[in-house]
């Protein structure tokens, strides 16, 4: 059977919903993707190394704050979702969607070990006619240059015996305006037949599918999206530092500038970049570009600016404590408000809050954090020494024990009025205090 016949058979299964879909990695990307397919009547086998996740899904329980138990229970009740740690069951599915991490190594170079190991596992169970799609962010060429050779150790030929495609995830955890099925889906593949298979699969659940000419093009699309954000955030972070010394409020500048109905898009400064994508993805292109003799100076400069922001914030904390409290950071009690990398989620991946806590501890401060979504600091490779630190109790009396508070994440549910009454100095990196009507009890410094 040739690839055209494989595509015809595959599309037929999608159309009559007899297809079975395998999703590898039931995390921030794989879980909502699985939910989207199940909600539209498709059978899904979810694969994950974490047995606790599989048990939770079977029991109709969520392990993410931004995904409710009710949603998971509804998915479980359909009988269409089956979560397992048994990767031998990959032979049961028609499509395999890979949603695994693609981090950086200690040299800030791409670490494709999760993708490679996943492909090695798939190669042991792959069968003719299957479609394998990578959703993890990576550099152009990964699908055909890295994945295909590993999968072909099975003895099957990519583009002949099985199909491949690349379709980058565009998840934004906690976003109330968009979810998996309403975010347009970019799809690229090595051939027209493979692209047709992948597009038809996603068309069954996604409101808009955007086909592009190749897998490498789709890989480049994802990097471009996140590099765009990284560069523009670096710009406003740099402007923030300059304007602060001029006595100008960057937040007021942006609010006024965005009234222009054309030619301007607002981006906002912060204490550093967080999340799995923006702090990491630009360096995938930087690394790959060297193979072609190109230095991505603009991207690397943005990375330097954003990476330096936690240091800048801690400098502002030290200066503010000296100016307004006549105290040094060393020996002071400081509360970091927010551990998540952005508001209203429990996601600490690459969170600048972890770096801020680490820097304050290095400078001799007694540091505690508060985050209503994260009861304790999870284990990370870089910040293992603060693993298990517990979130502080939130009460006015308890807050009065702190010399200063550093707002690193602007969660909506935090009572900033109480914070202003209880803590004498607040260093605000998110403009969270802008709507607090009475800050007479505290000096508020933007950073």
Residue 114's CB: how many other CB atoms inside 10 A? 16
What span, in angstroms and rounded, lies between the C-alpha atoms of 100 and 91?
19
Which of the listed residues 222, 239, 262 is the one where a domain comes to its end? 222
Catalytic status, residue 99:
no
Residue 359 maps to a domain: yes
Residue 240 maps to a domain: no
Please give the structure tokens belonging to residue 210.
Answer: 């955007």
Residue 288 maps to a domain: no
What span, in angstroms and rounded, lies between the C-alpha atoms of 94 and 45?
10
Which of the listed residues 222, 249, 274 is the one where a domain comes to its end? 222
pLDDT of res. 440: 79
pLDDT of res. 108: 82
Domain count, the chain: 2
Low-confidence ranges of the chain (pLDDT < 50): none
pLDDT of res. 324: 96
The partner residues of 95 in beta bridges, in order of sequence, read 21, 131
Our CA angle for 153, 106, 344, nearest 5°, is 95
pLDDT of res. 172: 87
Q: What is the pLDDT of residues 123-181, one digit of tens each?
A: 999 999 999 999 999 999 999 999 999 999 999 999 999 999 999 999 888 888 899 99
Q: Which of 54, 99, 199, 277 is catalytic?
A: 277
pLDDT of res. 435: 87
pLDDT of res. 76: 94
What's this model's pTM, rounded to 2 decimal places? 0.91
pLDDT of res. 1: 72
List CB contacts of 126: < 8 A, sequence separation 6 or more: 90, 91, 96, 132, 151, 154, 156, 162
Residue 118 maps to a domain: yes
Domain of residue 167, CATH code = 3.40.50.720
pLDDT of res. 438: 82
Which of the listed residues 174, 190, 222 is the one where a domain comes to its end? 222
Q: What is the pLDDT of residues 336-359, one digit of tens each?
A: 999 999 999 999 999 999 999 999
- Whether residues 217 and 344 share a domain: the answer is no
For residue 438, the enclosing domain spans 298-446
For residue 349, give the nearest of 408, 273, 413, 287 by alpha carbon. Answer: 273
For residue 367, give the nearest of 341, 331, 395 by alpha carbon. Answer: 331
pLDDT of res. 80: 97
- Whether residues 179 and 317 share a domain: the answer is no
List Cβ<8 Å contacts ≥24 apart for 314-319. 314/356, 314/359, 314/360, 314/363, 316/244, 316/427, 316/445, 316/447, 317/360, 317/404, 317/406, 317/427, 317/447, 318/363
pLDDT of res. 213: 98
């Amino acid at each position: 059977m040739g690839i055209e016949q494989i595509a015809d058979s595959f599309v037929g299964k999608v159309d009559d919903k007899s297809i079975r879909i395998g999703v590898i990695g039931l995390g921030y990307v794989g879980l909502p993707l699985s939910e989207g397919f199940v909600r539209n009547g498709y059978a899904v086998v979810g694969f994950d190394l974490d047995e606790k996740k599989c048990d939770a899904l079977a029991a109709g329980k969520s392990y993410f704050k931004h995904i409710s138990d009710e949603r998971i229970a509804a998915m479980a009740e359909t009988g269409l979702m089956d979560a397992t740690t048994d990767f031998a069951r990959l032979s049961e599915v028609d499509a395999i969607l890979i949603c695994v991490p693609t981090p950086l190594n200690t040299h800030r170079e791409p670490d494709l070990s999760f993708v490679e190991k996943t492909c090695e596992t798939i190669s042991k169970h792959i069968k003719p006619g299957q479609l394998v799609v990578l959703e993890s962010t990576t550099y152009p060429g990964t699908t055909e240059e890295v994945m295909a050779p590993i999968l072909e150790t099975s003895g099957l030929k990519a583009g002949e015996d099985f199909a491949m495609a690349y379709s980058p995830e565009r998840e934004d955890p906690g976003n109330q305006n968009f979810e998996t099925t309403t975010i347009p889906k970019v799809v690229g593949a090595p051939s027209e037949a493979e692209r047709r298979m992948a597009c038809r699969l996603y068309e069954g659940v996604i409101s808009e599918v955007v086909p592009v000419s190749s897998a490498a093009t789709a890989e480049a699309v994802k990097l471009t999206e996140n590099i765009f954000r990284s560069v523009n955030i670096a710009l406003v972070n740099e402007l923030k530092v300059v304007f602060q010394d001029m006595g100008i409020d960057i937040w007021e500048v942006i609010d006024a500038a965005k009234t222009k109905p054309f030619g301007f898009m607002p981006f906002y400064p912060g204490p550093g970049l967080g999340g799995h994508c923006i702090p990491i993805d630009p360096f995938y292109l930087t690394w790959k570009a060297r193979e072609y003799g190109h230095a991505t100076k603009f991207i690397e400069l943005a990375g330097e600016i954003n990476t330096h922001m936690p240091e800048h914030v801690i400098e502002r904390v030290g200066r503010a404590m000296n100016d307004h409290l006549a105290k040094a950071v060393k020996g002071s009690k400081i509360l970091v408000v927010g551990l998540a990398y952005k508001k209203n989620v429990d996601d600490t991946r690459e969170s600048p809050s972890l770096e801020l806590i680490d820097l304050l501890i290095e400078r001799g401060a007694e540091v505690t954090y508060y985050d209503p979504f994260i009861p304790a600091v999870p284990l990370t490779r870089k910040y293992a020494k603060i693993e298990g630190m517990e979130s502080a109790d939130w009460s006015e009396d308890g807050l009065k024990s702190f010399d200063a508070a550093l707002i690193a994440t602007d969660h909506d549910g935090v009572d900033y009025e109480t914070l202003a009454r209880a803590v004498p100095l607040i260093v605000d990196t998110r403009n969270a205090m802008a709507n607090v009507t009475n800050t007479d009890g505290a000096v508020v410094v933007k950073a």
